[in-house]
Amino acid sequence: SPSLAMQNTNITPCQYRTGRMLGSGTYAIVREAIHIHTSQVYACKIINKQLMEGREYLVRNEITVLKRISSGHPNIVTLHDYFESPRNMYLCFDLCTGGELFDRICSKGNYYEADAASLVRTVLTAVKYIHGAGIVHRDLKPENLLFRTQAEDADIMIADFGLSRVMDDEKLSLLTGVCGTPGYMAPEIFLNAGHGKPVDVWAMGVITYFLLAGYTPFDREKPEEETQAIIAGDYAFAPAEYWANVSETARDFVGTCLTVDPAYRPTAAQALEHRWLASAMPHFVADP
């Protein structure tokens, strides 16, 4: 695709000047990087090879996946460039200056239902595209959903394909292994009987719950209790005061995404048909 400058193998880190830190995650720190010749500012994900300890394949996988889908959808971060030094791997993305959805939820407390529906519809549309391209993201959470600008109605972008997998044939290649962020992980991941695209729809259910209430549904004192709650689908729309202004339709949407058996959970395309999202306007922002 034309926006990927990755055919250029001569690029070295010294073509960029790094600036302030934008964030950090499981394996990476992300800094502003200014391309010296063009003055264009990017977000550069810097992964220390020593910290990866032989798991560099995760980064190569991330690059493979991004090459396949990035720039194919407006709500997926675009990878512009990548290169390596002896110590680090560098991935240069479009800069999202609006921060993580996580921080916006935390500073707001929770979202107005109409705004939540609009965001969820946009993200699910991108998830449907990703699934259609044969990819499972596997780490959808508010820390990996970024706003393109600081505007209140900025585009939301799916980032961090570090745990994603190519999965072309649903039946033949069920994924195994426990990975992700516990609070957003689907029951079938813990049961270790294989998983696939439905894990992303489950995560969308947890994210929607978080948007509406300001806290996550399976949060427990101990990690084992959290796992048990997830496997049992044991959550409630409680305490009541946090759910007083949330419609029955919104709760029904959350409940549908949080269907314990992945065989009965809606696909991303089916979830988009839910009546809570059917009437959601993209980028609608309610007046406070």
Distance separating alpha carbons of residues 279 and 76, to the nearest angstrom: 23
Catalytic entry in 81, 139, 160, 200: 139
Nearest distance from C-beta of residue 175 to ligand ADP, angstroms = 18
Of 81, 115, 143, 200, which lies in the binding site for ligand ADP, with binding defined by CB under 6 A? 143
Contact present, 116 and 212 (Cβ < 8 Å): yes
The reply on whether position 113 binds ligand ADP by CB under 6 A is no
Restricting to residues 153-172, name those near Mg ion by CB under 5 A: 160
Distance separating alpha carbons of residues 157 and 2, to the nearest angstrom: 20
- The DSSP code sequence of 81-137 is EEEE-SSEEEEEEE--TT-BHHHHHHHHSS--HHHHHHHHHHHHHHHHHHHHTTEE-
Question: Residue number with the shortest CB distance to ligand ADP?
Answer: 25
Indicate the residue among 147 and 276 with the shorter CB distance to ligand ADP: 147
CA 88 to chain centre: 24
Distance separating alpha carbons of residues 165 and 133, to the nearest angstrom: 11
Of 43, 126, 201, 212, which lies in the binding site for ligand ADP, with binding defined by CB under 6 A? 43
Indicate the residue among 103 and 251 with the shorter CB distance to ligand ADP: 103
Of 76, 116, 124, 159, which lies in the binding site for ligand ADP, with binding defined by CB under 6 A? 159
CA dihedral 191, 196, 201, 205 (to 10 degrees): 20
Which residues of the shown chain bind ligand ADP in the complex (CB under 6 A)? 22-28, 30, 43, 45, 77, 93-96, 100, 143-144, 146, 159-160, 162
Catalytic center residues:
139
Q: Binding site for ATP, residues?
A: 45
